[in-house]
Structure 1
């Protein structure tokens, strides 16, 4: 079976790579950062860049590609609305933001692969289970994290961290939901100086220039901090998760992925009860639901609170453990490291059924069955 992949977003690349190990095939992209990251992370992967990165170029490519199945992690209409063959959507995130369960993200696809029961419930509430075929397979990107494939000691050596000190990972989301834009430096400075501190900013925080002054100040501060590391924009965050003893998050889907490790999470909430939110941020807050997630650890809204909470959860890592595990099992179907295998089976089944359907239709037409002669 010839699978063809299309990706124009960095988090989507990290979702597709495990699936490429199960269903090999060429990867197409019109994004320079995706291309650079793929060449660095998976140099043997067949990669093709659409150039120039224009809508008409992607549309022309889609019309001429031939494959048994086309796979992506976002709804790119100029590609998936024009390819000829089964189309599979395997969403790159599992976030409480609620973006996935929308008709515009499913309308071009024959199969949607869902991460777990919560996503299936969201699709049911949105009435999408009646409009598109869905299968719950688990979170493909989280397979290696769930299996424990990453070498934490090697990560700490590579980033010159103290092997014996607690390691804190800070991974904020993007847009107005991000704690980084106004509080990034305050959060970083709350981490005890003798601890390791690792930060991974959302790619869109950098690309969209949400907070350029904060990015400059944060980068300068962490560069001067002993036992500090700011990960590159195209890095997979999961090796850092594996090395982290605890995590600081906000409304990012990375908080939910960290649940796979059953380690303490703290949430910096700068939005609840805040007046004067801009229209876009207010719409995002109203759309999402973080109430269950924020029960998985302490919620703080200042650097002083955060420092005290960090010290407390480091000393009592089992607190909130029951809620973390309940949330993990709600978000992730069978977090056993085999989601990519289940996804490959579901995709092969779809491709086989559609191939048989087309073949049967051709036989029917060739036989002249159903044709009435006058």
Structure 2
């Protein structure tokens, strides 16, 4: 597109400026209707008008310059937008072909683990277990990071890591992705690398997801069509099709099939929950907030309790909602008792933590993009709302409090709930900060609440004593065999 010349486009403005200036400076001395105000001679009055006209002319010139600047600025914005759209079209065209290349490309015994927004969750613990059992799998293991921090963390432990920036990929990196037999993910495959999903399209996908849900997700989290966008469409597209879907209980397969598309269901448990069955050490503590970990240890050592507040995110009023629910009152009550409140915001809202922390100086916030699961082992009481972390915490057999101060707003503006599994919740529900403080101050957990959460634990977890990562590795061995069967057949 050829842009219009600024010199040509400014012609009208220059004519307007010239005309206005001419009319304002026309001689007035010959006009009989003009007379000097009292105290001024005609010459003084004309000089005053001339000064006014000069100022006005300058203002008009300034206005013209401003109009030209704005036009040029808008033109640059438009050119930038066109360039961005051209790049998006380029990527889409490449991905359409690369996905087909990936499906046709011969597969090798290569497993790629895809990182999420931070190094943690099921991917971290599955990766650590796989690295320990590299020989047992008989496969080449690679990590696909979403950012520079993840790449540095994986490389620090000696792991094979693809570059987080696609511009740094070599032909060898490209071959690794196209030849991968299995890809392990725990979220939608929407990383920072715009080509990743296409390059891995031919691999058998093992979806670990990131928690048992009471929110409608996947195919049941649909917007009105008028709000449809390419981003939402891509999210829906990455709800399947998976070779295996990992869960925690066999009885929940129909529920997961409401939300995702997959061939086989594998209730082997979550790899991240293995750390709840041991004292975290070594690489378990990689990417854990050291300050929060140490503070929790110190309070625990002197007999204090650790309260971890881990709410899920809000689609509406994102991040700001926590400033409106009275957390400072809860923090004060906990501190006055000699205990510690730690708040772990959902990864979606963690970018706002530095700003939120300024308004809540008495609260200890977990550093953004860090792994919270080792902290659960030092947590005395979990406070949450709708987050799947409550179901993992059941394995520790410790009290859970549900804090839902904006419940009506959440279910009407954020997410519908699919909580038939919570006919009896894992703990009492508080809807105000004062009600939560009262629950915190009670001397002991009622037996009815303890029995309810134990019953829920038994319903949600077929495996309660660790070993989930080992069961996952057995699953990966099977997936490798299926993916490579054709290549391994004798000629």
TM-score range (shorter-chain normalised) is 0.7 to 0.9
Residue 371 of structure 2 aligns to a residue whose secondary structure is: coil
What is the aligned partner in structure 2 of residue 138 from structure 1?
269
**Structure 2 vs 1, CA of residues 286 and 158 (structure 1 numbering), >3 Å: closer, same or farther?**
closer
The match for 1:91 is 209
Take 1:359 and 1:114, find their aligned partners in 2: how far apart are those partners? 30
Counterpart position of 2:255: 122
Determine which of 400, 404, 407 is the counterpart of 1:269. 404
For structure 2, the 5+ residue unaligned runs are 1-108, 132-140, 221-235, 282-291
Task: Give me the whole-angstrom Cα distance separating, in 2, the residues matched to 1:127 and 1:244.
Answer: 32
How many pairs are equivalent? 337
Counterpart position of 1:113: 246
CA separation of 1:334/1:17 partners in 2, compared to 1, >3 Å: closer, same or farther? same
The alignment status of 1:260 with 2:390, answered yes or no, reads no
Would the alpha carbon gap of residues 292 and 353 (structure 1) be closer, same or farther in structure 2, given more than 3 Å must change?
A: same
Which structure's relative contact order is higher, taking Cα pairs within 8 Å and 6+ residues apart? 1
Please state how far the C-alpha of 1:33 moved relative to its aligned partner: 4.5
Q: Out of 342-351 and 230-239, give the one that drifted further.
A: 230-239
Mapped partners of 2:354, 2:279: distance in 1: 35
* CA distance in 2: counterparts of 1:296 and 1:100, whole angstroms: 24
Describe how 1:153-164 pairs up with structure 2 within 5 A: 155-156=293-294, 160-161=298-299, 163=301, 164=303
Q: TM-score, with normalisation over the residues of structure 1?
A: 0.77
CA offset at residue 86 of structure 1? 2.1
Q: Which has the higher helix share?
A: 2
Task: Compute the displacement of 1:266 (Å).
Answer: 0.8
Does 1:355 find its partner at 2:484?
yes
Q: Tell me, in whole angstroms, the C-alpha distance in 2 between the residues paired with 1:80 and 1:212.
A: 32
Cα distance in 2 for residues equivalent to 1:342 and 1:100: 25
Give 1:244 shift. Answer: 1.5
The root-mean-square deviation of aligned C-alpha atoms, in Å, is 3.4
The aligned counterpart of 2:362 is: 221
Shift of 1:290: 7.3
How much has 1:127 moved relative to structure 2?
7.9
Report the Cα distance in structure 2 between the residues aligned to 1:79 and 1:71, rounded to whole angstroms. 13
Residue 174 of structure 1 and its aligned partner are, at CA, apart by 1.5
| Residue 349 of structure 1, CA deviation | 0.8
Determine which of 306, 311, 320 is the counterpart of 1:172.
Answer: 311
Correspondence list, 1:185-334, <5 A: 185-193=328-336, 194-207=338-351, 209=352, 214-218=356-360, 220-222=361-363, 229-274=364-409, 282=412, 284-289=414-419, 292=422, 295-312=425-442, 314-316=443-445, 318-334=447-463
Decide which structure has the larger Cα Rg and report it: 2
Q: Give CA-to-partner distance per residue, 1:211-246, whole Å, 9 cap, x none.
A: 87533212x223xxxxxx432223321222111111
Paired residues of 2:125 and 2:272 also in contact (CA < 8 A): yes
Equivalent residue in structure 2 for 1:75, among 161, 173, 188: 188
CA distance in 2, matches of 1:358, 1:101: 35
Q: Structure 1's 336 and 359: CA in aligned 2 closer, same or farther, altered over 3 A? A: same
CA drift at 1:94: 2.2
CA distance in 1, matches of 2:174, 2:405: 43
The answer to whether the 8 A contact 1:101-1:122 is kept is no
